[in-house]
Structure 1
């Protein structure tokens, strides 16, 4: 990644983060003039967690998506399409509504465990070097099973209002999250993103072929297991707090690879930053909705990401020929 590209991504991220803290600005400025203490509470307790959750969730989605795409050598791989996001949601739902462990810590444990199971199942079903069709079928199967199991868990939950309580969270939401919940996302997301960035050179070598990477001293099986475990930790913790946000982990890495001339390892850092930019921008966009309407951020990312996904499939088919 060139210095100019890095500075551009950092600047855009900083501008969107500042806008996320400030928008809507008029009401906050008026309140600050009338009652600074209340305005400070709103800024620190409500807007800061929401903005930083978008930042860190986007970072880990982008970095995880880039690492998974490099691992499977497939641009269609991402945490949501491979079933990791749905499996993380299932794990969090089981812990919260079936086991009665609804604290931020146990929700994070449930999300991480679910994501681990989902990615391990994908690796078993599709194999480490899956073709596009195999990867899609395996991911769809895991996502479908996880979605059905999540609905079943909510239906069997002791609370009759479990469906209503979980709806906004399952659709992906950054609203009304606390500073402790922010910590449960930010710490794993930051550590996982940094660790995945350090694996960039190894993933670039893996792009040359497993035999070439092994000859250079890389242990492919160990690398594969560690990357799957790391992405599960980062994505699982974020999903357990904010719910499922789709397509950020697909779109960010695809854009990033085009910016770094197709190098999968070098794409991890820009993919992480693009993921943060996309989620911050999506969260800003939903604030334009009427005050009495709440649009889950995951719904907006799906509306934008689905056409992109279809375009990507069409492009790959066109390149493959008739």
Structure 2
């Protein structure tokens, strides 16, 4: 566990360094460092402090939030396919954000976007928990997620169709597709506190997730307050996903791919999977963001599109694998 966490932390630091280094204009290492610490020319300081640094920081904290919340949902529902994007949490968080953009609240009241996104995410997590329960089948999880996602997407499309100007539609569409481009330190400072609170709520339930693997009755006999655990996990996941979506739009499948790859390395123990999934999510999201910068396309491919292209085939593979194991 310690060795795995250390390796992922080192990989994260290397990925963040690479993210700061790679850009549209190659810069020497000394100029990059000077731009970060304010000792280079003003132009280089702007590039590093206002363009590249916020992008890398958001990639790290959003990736951690999505990886952590994916592992938490899978532990709560005891199902490896329960991921925020797959079960509609990201879509409903995106709906909340689109509504604030539609009414102009996002520009007049900065806190409205994360609050609306977290509210949408919380509603979706609560619905999934009520509709499926912890021992639901794969089919039940997927059907519930499809229903919630479809409703959220339909309402998002309706909001876009009623937008007063083409500019508003473009802003909503670009935001929903997910990207770390053109973000600032304001986005980091606005959403990071919500993410930290979400992390704390989820991590405080780590041991309870281990107990839940033995069944609810056993968990109760071990002194686990199930109502408190459920509430902490639901609110924590909503804060993580909602804050992430409010900063970067909908970025799916991070919370599905990362926990699945790392679960065998922590002996399938939910509590140990949380931190490493967060670190793995940070690494994966930063590398994906680097990839969209390197792909020769104009305009830049949206990050949410790339993660979907990677995650959707992986999700289909998991479904086929689960079906084979059930036979």
Q: TM-score range by the shorter chain?
A: over 0.9
When the two structures are aligned, how many residues end up with a matched partner? 320
Q: CA 1:52/1:71 → structure 2, altered by over 3 Å: closer, same or farther? A: same
Question: In structure 2, how many angstroms separate the alpha carbons of the residues matched to 1:204 and 1:210?
Answer: 11
Q: 2:313 aligns with which of 300, 307, 313?
A: 307
Give, in whole Å, the separation in 1 of the partners of 2:307 and 2:106. Answer: 29
Which residue is 1:183 aligned to?
189
**Root mean square deviation of aligned Cα:** 1.9
Aligned to 1:75: 80
Retained in 1: the 8 A contact 2:201–2:235?
no
Residue of structure 1 equivalent to 2:125: 119
Q: Classify 1:76/1:210 alpha carbon distance in 2 versus 1 (closer, same or farther; 3 Å).
A: same
Structure 1 length as normaliser, TM-score? 0.94
Give the Cα–Cα distance (whole angstroms) in 1 for the partners of residues 134 and 74 of structure 2: 11
Q: Which residue of 1 aligns with 2:14?
A: 15
Contact 2:201 2:232 in 1 (8 A): no
SS at match of 1:267: helix
Whether 1:50 and 2:55 are equivalent positions in the alignment is yes
CA distance in 1, matches of 2:29, 2:265: 42
Check 1:284–1:223 CA distance in 2 against 1; reply closer, same or farther (3 A cut).
Answer: same
Instruction: Tell whether the 8 Å contact from 1:155 to 1:162 is kept in structure 2 after alignment.
Output: no
Cα distance change on mapping 1:57 and 1:30 into 2, 3 Å? closer
Query: Which consecutive unaligned segments of at least 5 residues does structure 2 have?
Result: none
What TM-score do the two structures reach when normalised by structure 2?
Answer: 0.93
1:267 partnered with 2:266:
no
Q: Kindly tell me: are residues 98 and 24 of structure 1, through their superposed partners in 2, closer, same or farther at Cα, counting changes over 3 Å?
A: closer
Query: 2:198–2:235: 8 Å Cα contact kept in structure 1?
Result: no
Q: Does 1:227 align with 2:233?
A: yes
Greater Cα shift, 109-118 or 18-27:
18-27
- Deviation (angstroms), 1:124: 2.4
Superposition deviation, residue 26 in structure 1: 5.6
**Structure 1 unmatched ranges of 5 or more:** none
